[in-house]
A = this chain, B = another copy of it.
Amino acid sequence: MKALSQVGKYGLRALLYLVAYPPKNQYLSIREISDELGLSFHFVTKIFRELTEKGILISYRGPSGGIALAKPAEEIMLIDVIKALEGEDYFDKCLIGLPHCGTAKPCPVHEFWKEVKTKMQKNFSETSLALLGEKIRTMEVRLDD
């Protein structure tokens, strides 16, 4: 199941790198992130520009510039990132694509699909970037490969 676009996948991985390996300086360069994760520098730059516009990152140009979280990692929830990367309507889609599917006009799998989406929304709303960063740092989990 391809639940995220490449923008979503790469953006999330790149953000998690920033959270897991916070720089000594105020800013971490996009180049370091893209190099470390083996992602296209230009593509990550484009994605991060969007996250900056949406208030999840702040950026600074020039030498020793880069990007940084706009808020403490504890206050940024996974759901914020996913909605920023995939669209605010991410959890509003009918599985079989019926535009008016909803309580009033449910599709054949509406109730079940709503359960799945609710489970995801709940988990993503409770998961902070700080928590994920900590999991990565303690080597419980991985960000590349």
Contacts and interface: CB of A to CB of B under 8 A. Distances in A.
Contacts of A100: 145
B4 A120 contact: no
A2 interface: yes
Q: How large is the interface on A (under 10, 10 to 19, 20 to 34, 35 or more residues)?
A: 35 or more
Contacts of A95: 3-4, 9
Contacts of A10: 97
Interface of A: 1-4, 6, 9-10, 12-13, 16, 78, 86, 90-91, 93, 95-101, 105-110, 112, 115-117, 119-120, 123, 127, 132, 135-136, 140-145
15 contacts: A1-B90, A1-B91, A2-B3, A2-B93, A4-B96, A78-B109, A98-B142, A98-B143, A105-B142, A106-B140, A108-B136, A108-B143, A109-B127, A110-B141, A115-B119
